[in-house]
Amino acid sequence: MGDVEDPDLYASQPLWEWQQSEMGKWIMERAVDTPEWHRQIEPMSYGYQYAVIAKIKDIDYTFWTLKWGNNIDRGTV
C-alpha cells in the first residue's frame, strides 16, 4: 500500500475480505487468541505492509502449512 493519509482505512477492506476467505475463516475458527493485524513501514515504497498474526496449535500449523504454506499472496494488502 502506498503512502496514504489513513492507511488503516485503506487496508480495512482487503483485511475483511481475507477474513471472509477460506483461509481467513479457518484461522479465525482455530486461533488460540484473537488474531491481530500489524502495520509495518515498507521503506522501499514509502508505504505500508500489513500482517495478520495468529497463534494456533502445532497440529493446526502443520495442516495450514500443507494446505496454504506455498500460496500466500505477499504484498497485496
Q: Can you give the pLDDT of all 77 residues of the chain as single tens digits?
A: 666 788 899 999 999 999 999 999 999 999 999 999 999 998 888 888 999 999 999 999 999 999 988 665 554 43
- Residues 22 and 18: their CA atoms lie apart, in Å, by 8
Whole-structure pTM value: 0.75
For residue 2, give the C-alpha cell: 502506498
Backbone angles phi, psi at 43, to 5 degrees: -65, -25
* DSSP three-state, residue 4: coil
Q: How far is CA 68 from CA 8, 28, 50, in A?
A: 26, 15, 18
